[in-house]
Structure 1
Amino acid sequence: MKTLTLLRHAKSSWDDTVERDFDRPVNGRGRRAAARIGRWIGDERLSFDHVVASPAVRVRQTIEGVEDGLGSMLQPLWDTRIYLSSAATLMLLAQQFSDAKDDALLVGHNPGCEDLLLMLVPPGSGPLRDEAEIKYPTATLARIELDIARWADLDDNKGRLSHFIRPRDLDPTLGPDD
């Protein structure tokens, strides 16, 4: 059995005038949300034996926030293929993970993270999947259990969504502004 955890980067700042989207930082609420997700990971005693992430600034800062909340380092491998990639690209990347690794964390962007979750977890498989189909907010963590022995066997509809944790689920002040 393998587990793939997807984490979308925290809320970014559109007020910051950066030249490239790649350099856009997280905002204050995003920093708080990332730290809160990190505390939740620690409370749940989740651990990852493989962490791969987009090198975009907002992802790097999300990981820093998660590490602050968790109280330990994730030590990600930075992979430029994750930056703004499609679900198909993310699937190919995950299929290449070492089979010696059972619990992977992938930190990236939408729509790739959301689309990958929707590819891996079959429609009608429960309320968590229904929530994910409505919206995959920033700093949201999705944990997908996979009944596979090898990452190369990762394919559509092979997953079961065990967790779909939005920052607002843990702290209502981290929810939408509406």
Structure 2
Amino acid sequence: MSVDTPRRIVLLRHAKAEWSQDSDHERPLADRGRKDAPVAGRWLAGAGITPDLTLCSTAVRTRETWKLVVSELPERPRTVYDERIYEASPGELIAVLNEQSDEVQDLLLVGHNPGVHALADALSGEAEGDLLATMNRGGFPTSAMAVVTFTGSWKSVEHGVGRLTAYWAPHM
């Protein structure tokens, strides 16, 4: 695959989780999260997005979200669980994206706020219509997704490199 290949990054915030006095990392999905995650998967499938690679935080709620999302996709992509995604800043997430092989065309990242929302905003140098305003006004709720396209290698991912082409949340 050429470095001039159009690529797509799908940023998915985990589904709604239970509140707990226990470790934040170990929080499971709430009932609403277990209902919303498959809906997110159906949206991805309906949009014709099947990632080549999914990078998922190691937190329980992100792993549970991904399990429910991927069950709705026509095929299961290679999945890597990466502890660096948990509580990552946009810069840390960009560093993870920069490491990816240029054989990957479409990548899905399952993570957490505020990092996922901030990353979607930072990467989106352009947006279709009022998508950027809609995304920022909505605050990137649980199970929300932003789709950012760019041309170039994964090493070239940086602030403003992409175009926000889709934004979806289950209760929009």
TM-score, normalised on structure 2? 0.90
Partners of 2:31 and 2:134 in 1: CA distance: 25
1:122 match: secondary structure: strand
Do residues 23 (structure 1) and 17 (structure 2) align?
Answer: no
Match of 1:132 among 135, 141, 164: 135
Q: Which is richer in helix?
A: 1
Q: Which amino acid aligns with 2:148?
A: I
Match of 1:83 among 82, 86, 89: 86
Do residues 143 (structure 1) and 147 (structure 2) align?
Answer: yes
1:167 match: secondary structure: coil
Q: Which amino acid aligns with 1:133?
A: N
Partners of 2:127 and 2:46 in 1: CA distance: 29
Moved over 2 A (4+): 67-75, 122-126
2:125 match: secondary structure: coil
Kindly tell me the number of residue pairs found equivalent between the two proteins.
Answer: 166
Structure 2 residues without counterparts, runs of 5 or longer? 1-5
1:110 match: secondary structure: coil
Match of 1:61 among 61, 64, 71: 64
Preserved CA contact (<8 Å) 1:121 1:161: yes
Q: Which amino acid aligns with 1:38?
A: G
Q: Which amino acid aligns with 1:57?
A: V
Do residues 93 (structure 1) and 105 (structure 2) align?
Answer: no
Match of 1:119 among 119, 122, 133: 122
Residues 45, 3 of structure 1: alpha-carbon distance in 2 compared, 3 angstrom cutoff: same
Q: Which is richer in strand?
A: 2
Preserved CA contact (<8 Å) 1:35 1:70: no
Partners of 2:57 and 2:110 in 1: CA distance: 6
Structure 1 residue 126 displacement after superposition: 3.7
> Which residue number in structure 2 is paired with residue 173 of structure 1?
none
Partners of 2:117 and 2:132 in 1: CA distance: 10
TM-score, normalised on structure 1? 0.87
> Which residue number in structure 1 is paired with residue 3 of structure 2?
none
Structure 1 residues without counterparts, runs of 5 or longer? 170-178
Partners of 1:114 and 1:108 in 2: CA distance: 10
Question: RMSD across aligned C-alpha pairs, in angstroms?
Answer: 1.6
Partners of 1:8 and 1:30 in 2: CA distance: 11
Preserved CA contact (<8 Å) 2:50 2:106: yes
